[in-house]
Amino acid sequence: MTIDQQLLLNDIQHHVALSLAEDIGSGDITAQLIPSENTLVATVISREAAVLCGRPWAEEVFRQLDDKVQLTWHFEEGDDLPPNEPFLTLSGSARSILTGERTALNYIQLLSYTTSVARRYADIAKATGFPLTILDTRKTIPSLRLAQKYAVAIGGAANHRVGLYDAFLIKENHIMAAGSIAAAVQQAEHIAPGKPIEIETENLDEVAQAVAAGAHIIMLDNFSLEDMKTAVNTYRGQVKFEASGNMTDEHIKAVAATGVDFISVGAITKHVQAIDLSLRVVKEANL
């Protein structure tokens, strides 16, 4: 799946506005200690190796807060960041820079971590030598779905469905409620013609039912390697296969050899950390 760019832009603008309101509230009282006419130049570094992500969010922070603050990027989105080397320089109002600093860095530190993890998984998949795509999942931070999926794509992995509206993922409870795999697929084709239909399966019998029903993608959930190979070899060319469940680095290598098309990894967006960033003032001026 790909994220609609206008949807992403609207989401960035909306989310940044909420984040600034959350942080600033009725006003930044600490920034008021600084004379309003003071300006400064500051740089931002990463204290650890990372992959840069989050530029659009940082830019939107200062667009909303003070569009006279200048942001000069020394690395592109998706570039590897060496430790302790400036990747961003800010210049302008001291009050504005210090007020927007934390919100901007919060986005960069979170999204850069997600991108760094996605890059690592994408590199593992590439190293297997098989035509394998790493997918994210919907296990994301509430309200940061689009941001994290953007970060995944920047890192070189791919997006699964964005939400519950752009593709079907029919799981055990859906199948039970619909009556059967065939009935669920038939209803899906009626409800949203043309939307991708994926069936989560737990055994080879369910795989056969999903293929017969016309599923586009079949998820092999916690299958043994032997059963994955059987499913792929039996129905190769008729349907795409996605493997899911406990995807450690070594397991990904073994699963890739079964011939599946996709591996979904919830840990890319579910296990959240932050890259260690620091803003340093390098020049102050009182104009």
Residue 48 lies in a domain: yes
For the record, the structure tokens of 39 come out as 């300006």
For residue 284, what pLDDT is reported? 74
Neighbours of 18 (CB within 10 A): 11
Residue 131 lies in a domain: no
Tell me if 265 is assigned to a ligand binding site. Answer: yes
Residue 256 lies in a domain: yes
Tell me if 137 is assigned to a ligand binding site. Answer: yes
Tell me if 206 is assigned to a ligand binding site. Answer: no
Report d(CA 12, CA 8) in Å as an integer: 6
Residues labelled catalytic: 102, 139, 171, 200, 221
For residue 132, what pLDDT is reported? 96
Q: Which residue has the tokens 């059967």?
A: 180
Residue 87 belongs to what domain range? 5-117+273-286
Single-letter amino acid, residue 197? I
Same domain, 111 and 22: yes
For residue 2, what pLDDT is reported? 79
Same domain, 232 and 282: no
- CB–CB of 99/31 below 8 Å? yes
Q: Three-class SS of residue 282?
A: strand
Tell me if 200 is assigned to a ligand binding site. Answer: yes
Q: Three-class SS of residue 41?
A: strand
Q: In the chain, where do the E strands start and end? A: 38-46, 50-51, 70-73, 80-81, 88-93, 133-135, 168-170, 197-201, 217-221, 240-244, 262-264, 277-286
For residue 286, what pLDDT is reported? 62
For residue 58, what pLDDT is reported? 98
pLDDT in tens, the chain (287 residues): 779 999 999 999 999 999 999 999 999 999 999 999 999 999 999 999 999 999 999 999 999 999 999 999 999 999 999 999 999 999 999 999 999 999 999 999 999 999 999 999 999 999 999 999 999 999 999 999 999 999 999 999 999 999 999 999 999 999 999 999 999 999 999 999 999 999 999 999 999 999 999 999 999 998 999 999 999 999 999 999 999 988 888 899 999 999 999 999 999 999 999 999 999 998 776 64
Residue 126 lies in a domain: no
For the chain, how are helix, strand and coil distributed in percent, rounded to 5? 45, 20, 35
Residue 219 lies in a domain: yes
For the record, the structure tokens of 122 come out as 């994408």
Residue 125 lies in a domain: no
